[in-house]
Chain A
Amino acid sequence: MNLLLTSAASSVAQLLASALGDTHKLRLTDLRAKATGEIIANDLDHGGDIDDLLEGIDAIINIGYQGQVGSEKALIDYHTRAMYNLLWSASESGVKRVINVSTLRLFENYEENLAVTEKWRSTPSSQDIELLAAHLTECVCKEFARDRMIQAVNLRFGWPFDSSDKADTARISTDLAVGAVNAALESQELIHWQDIHVQSKVENQRYLTNTAARLLPTLAEKL
Chain B
Amino acid sequence: MKVLILGGNGMLGPWAVTAMKDRHDILLTDINDPYPEYQGEFLKLSVDDIDGVVDAAQGMDVIVNLSVLRPDRRLAFDVNTMGNYAMMVAAREHRIKRVINTGPHFQLVGQQYEDWDFDLNPDMPPAPGTRLYAHTKALGSEICRVFSERHGIQVLTLMYYNMKHTWNLGGPEASPTYHEDMVPFSTAWPDCGTAVRAAVEVPDERLSSNFEAFFVFPDLPHRKFNNEKTRRVLGWVPRYHVEALWNKQFRLPPSGLHEAF
Q: Which A positions have Cβ atoms within 8 angstroms of B?
A: 45-46, 72-73, 76-77, 80-81, 84-85, 87-88, 123-127, 132, 135-136, 139-140, 143-144, 146-147, 149
Identify 9 new A-B residue pairs, CB closer than 8 A, beyond the known A123-B149, A143-B130: A73-B48, A84-B73, A87-B130, A126-B150, A136-B142, A139-B142, A143-B128, A143-B129, A147-B129
In angstroms, Cα B145 to Cα A139, docked, is 13
Flag B149-177 by CB within 8 Å of A: 1 or 0 each: 11100000000000000000000000000
Q: Chain B residue with minimal CB distance to A91?
A: B130
User: Which residues between 116 and 141 of chain B lie within 8 Å of chain A, taking CB atoms?
Assistant: 127-130, 132, 135-136, 138-139
B129/A132 in contact, CB under 8 A: no
B113 to A: closest C-beta gap in Å: 11
In the assembled complex, 8 residue pairs joining A and B whose CB atoms fall closer than 8 Å, in A order, are A46-B74, A80-B77, A84-B130, A84-B132, A126-B146, A126-B151, A135-B142, A136-B139
B86 to A: closest C-beta gap in Å: 9
B74/A146 in contact, CB under 8 A: no
> For residue B74, which residues in chain A have a CB less than 8 angstroms away from its CB?
45-46, 81
B112/A136 in contact, CB under 8 A: no
Question: What 4 A-B pairs have minimum CB-CB distances, sorted nearest first?
Answer: A81-B77, A46-B73, A126-B150, A126-B147
Contact of B73 among A81, A87, A136 (CB under 8 A): A81
> For residue A143, which residues in chain B have a CB less than 8 angstroms away from its CB?
128-130, 135, 138
How many A-B contacts are there with CB distance less than 8 Å?
70
In angstroms, Cα B77 to Cα A123, docked, is 23
A126/B92 in contact, CB under 8 A: yes
Q: Chain A residue with minimal CB distance to B73?
A: A46
B71 to A: closest C-beta gap in Å: 12
Q: A72-B50, A126-B92, A146-B112 known; A81 and B81 CB under 8 Å?
A: yes
> For residue A140, which residues in chain B have a CB less than 8 angstroms away from its CB?
135, 139
Main secondary structure of the interface of A (DSSP, over half): helix
In angstroms, Cα B147 to Cα A132, docked, is 10
In angstroms, Cα B85 to Cα A135, docked, is 14
Q: Is B6 among interface residues, defined by CB-CB distance under 8 A?
A: no
Q: Chain B residue with minimal CB distance to A132?
A: B146
Q: Which B positions have Cβ atoms within 8 angstroms of A?
A: 48, 50, 73-74, 77-78, 81-82, 85, 88, 92, 110-112, 127-130, 132, 135-136, 138-139, 142-143, 146-147, 149-151
B77/A124 in contact, CB under 8 A: no
In angstroms, Cα B86 to Cα A73, docked, is 9
Q: Chain B residue with minimal CB distance to A129?
A: B85
> For residue B130, which residues in chain A have a CB less than 8 angstroms away from its CB?
84, 87-88, 143-144, 146-147, 149
B85/A146 in contact, CB under 8 A: no
Q: Chain A residue with minimal CB distance to B134?
A: A143
In angstroms, Cα B143 to Cα A124, docked, is 10
> For residue B82, which residues in chain A have a CB less than 8 angstroms away from its CB?
73, 76-77
In angstroms, Cα B130 to Cα A87, docked, is 10
B50/A73 in contact, CB under 8 A: yes
B142/A126 in contact, CB under 8 A: no
A215 to B: closest C-beta gap in Å: 23
Q: Chain A residue with minimal CB distance to B88?
A: A126
> For residue B111, which residues in chain A have a CB less than 8 angstroms away from its CB?
147
In angstroms, Cα B110 to Cα A88, docked, is 17
> For residue A136, which residues in chain B have a CB less than 8 angstroms away from its CB?
139, 142-143
A85/B50 in contact, CB under 8 A: no
> For residue B149, which residues in chain A have a CB less than 8 angstroms away from its CB?
123
> For residue B50, which residues in chain A have a CB less than 8 angstroms away from its CB?
72-73
> For residue A88, which residues in chain B have a CB less than 8 angstroms away from its CB?
130
Q: A46-B74, A139-B139, A143-B130 known; A80 and B81 CB under 8 Å?
A: yes
> For residue B85, which residues in chain A have a CB less than 8 angstroms away from its CB?
72, 76
Contact of A146 among B127, B136, B150 (CB under 8 A): B127
* Residue among B78, B88, B150 with the highest chain A CB neighbour number at 10 A: B150
B146/A124 in contact, CB under 8 A: yes
> For residue B143, which residues in chain A have a CB less than 8 angstroms away from its CB?
126, 132, 136
In angstroms, Cα B110 to Cα A87, docked, is 18
In angstroms, Cα B139 to Cα A87, docked, is 15
In angstroms, Cα B128 to Cα A72, docked, is 24
A135/B146 in contact, CB under 8 A: yes
> For residue A72, which residues in chain B have a CB less than 8 angstroms away from its CB?
50, 85
In angstroms, Cα B30 to Cα A114, docked, is 46
